[in-house]
Chains A and B, each alone.
Chain A
Amino acid sequence: MDNLLRLWGRWVLSLVQDAGRMILFLFEGLGLAFVPPFRGRRFLQEIQLIGVKSCLIVLLTAAFTGMVLALQGYYTLRKYGSEGALGSAVALSLIREMGPVLTALMVSARAGSAVTAEIGIMRITEQLDALDTMAVNPMQYVVMPKLIAGLVAVPLLTAIFDVTGILGGYLIGVVLLGVSSGTYFSGMVQSVVPLDINGGIVKSLVFGLTIILVACYKGYYTEHGAEGVSRATNQTVVLSAILVLAWDYVLTSFFM
Chain B
Amino acid sequence: MIQIIDLVKSFNGQVVLDGINLEMPQGKITVVIGKSGVGKSVLLKHIVGLLKPNSGKVLIDGVDITFLTGRKLQEMKKRFAVLFQGGALFDSLNVFENIAFPLREKTRLSEAEIKRRILERLEQMNLSPEVGYKFPDQLSGGMKKRVALARAMIQEPEIMFFDEPVTGLDPPMTNTVFHLITKTHQESGYTALVVSHDIPDVFQVADYVAMLHQGRIIAYGTPEEIQHHADPIVQSFIHGEVDFLEA
Contacts and interface: CB of A to CB of B under 8 A. Distances in A.
Nearest to B79: A135
B82 interface: yes
A200 B130 CA distance: 51
Range of interface residues on A (Cβ < 8 Å): 10 to 19
Interface in B50-105: 50, 74-75, 77-78, 80-82, 84-86, 88-91, 101-102, 105
B86 A125 contact: yes
Contacts of A137: 74
Contacts, number: 49
B149 to A, nearest CB: 13
Interface string A120-164: 011001110110111111000000000000000000000000000
A35 to B, nearest CB: 10
B78 A135 contact: yes
Interface string B12-53: 000000000000000000000000000000000100111000
A133 B161 CA distance: 10
Contacts of A129: 45, 50, 82, 84, 88
A137 B77 CA distance: 11
Contact of A134 (B45, B75, B89, B105): B105
Contact of B91 (A127, A132, A133): A127
B223 to A, nearest CB: 27
B77 A135 contact: yes
Nearest to B78: A135
A126 B85 contact: yes
Contacts of B74: 135, 137
Q: Which of A126, A135, A136 has the most CB of B within 10 A?
A: A135
Nearest to A121: B91
A108 to B, nearest CB: 22
Q: Which of A127, A129, A130, A136 has the most CB of B within 10 A?
A: A130
B106 interface: yes
Given A132-B50, A133-B50, A127 B90 contact: yes
B88 A127 contact: yes
B77 A132 contact: yes
Given A126-B84, A126-B85, A129-B50, A134 B155 contact: yes
Contact of B77 (A122, A125, A126, A133): A133
A130 B77 contact: no
A133 B81 contact: yes
A10 to B, nearest CB: 14
Contact of B106 (A125, A126, A127, A135): A135
Contacts of B78: 135
B114 to A, nearest CB: 15
B40 to A, nearest CB: 15
Contacts of A132: 49-50, 77
B111 to A, nearest CB: 14
Given A125-B86, A126-B84, A134 B91 contact: no
B168 to A, nearest CB: 14
A126 B86 contact: yes
Contacts of B45: 129
B90 A133 contact: no
A166 to B, nearest CB: 37
A134 B84 contact: no
Contacts of B80: 133
A130 B88 contact: yes
Interface string A87-131: 000000000000000000000000000000000011001110110
Interface of B: 45, 48-50, 74-75, 77-78, 80-82, 84-86, 88-91, 101-102, 105-106, 155, 161
Interface of A: 121-122, 125-127, 129-130, 132-137
Q: Which 6 residue pairs of A and B lie closest in terms of their CB atoms, listed nearest first? A: A130-B88, A126-B88, A135-B77, A133-B82, A135-B74, A126-B84
27 contacts: A121-B91, A122-B90, A125-B91, A126-B84, A126-B86, A127-B89, A129-B45, A129-B50, A129-B82, A129-B88, A130-B88, A130-B90, A132-B49, A132-B50, A133-B77, A133-B80, A133-B161, A134-B77, A134-B81, A134-B101, A134-B102, A134-B155, A135-B74, A135-B78, A135-B105, A135-B106, A136-B105
